[in-house]
Amino acid sequence: MAAPTRPRRPIPTTNEIRQFFHCRRCADKLPVGRSPAEWARLEIGATPLGIQVWCRRCDINVIHIDFEGQKHPAEMRRRSDG
């Protein structure tokens, strides 16, 4: 017997970010008058394990999230300009 499927929640196409990832080294060198968002040089992408955030300026890992083999729904469309 197949496992029951859960109903999918709608995934918004608006900015719902509540917590940001920052490179610790870059944060320590943040110039006066610049915001962390302006100073960041991050790459975010899919890996064989999940998703990784990489600092291009420091060439170091910021965070690598392991999905532990699970598949997760994702929304790849952009917000409607309507």
Q: Are strands 42-46 and 50-55 parallel, antiparallel or unpaired?
A: antiparallel
pTM reported for the whole predicted model: 0.77
- What is the domain extent for residue 49? 41-70
Residue 55 lies in a domain: yes
Looking at 1-82, which runs of residues are DSSP E strands?
Answer: 42-46, 50-55, 60-66
Taking 80 as the threshold, does the pLDDT of residue 4 lie above it?
no
How many domains is the chain partitioned into structurally? 1
Residue 52 lies in a domain: yes
Residue 51 lies in a domain: yes
For the chain, report the end-to-end CA distance as a whole number of angstroms.
Answer: 44
Amino acid 75: pLDDT: 87
Amino acid 79: pLDDT: 73
Residue 3 lies in a domain: no
Question: What's the DSSP call for residue 75?
Answer: -
Amino acid 74: pLDDT: 87
Residue 13 lies in a domain: no
CA 30 – CA 32 distance, rounded (Å): 7
Residue 1 lies in a domain: no
Residue 59 lies in a domain: yes
Residue 6 lies in a domain: no
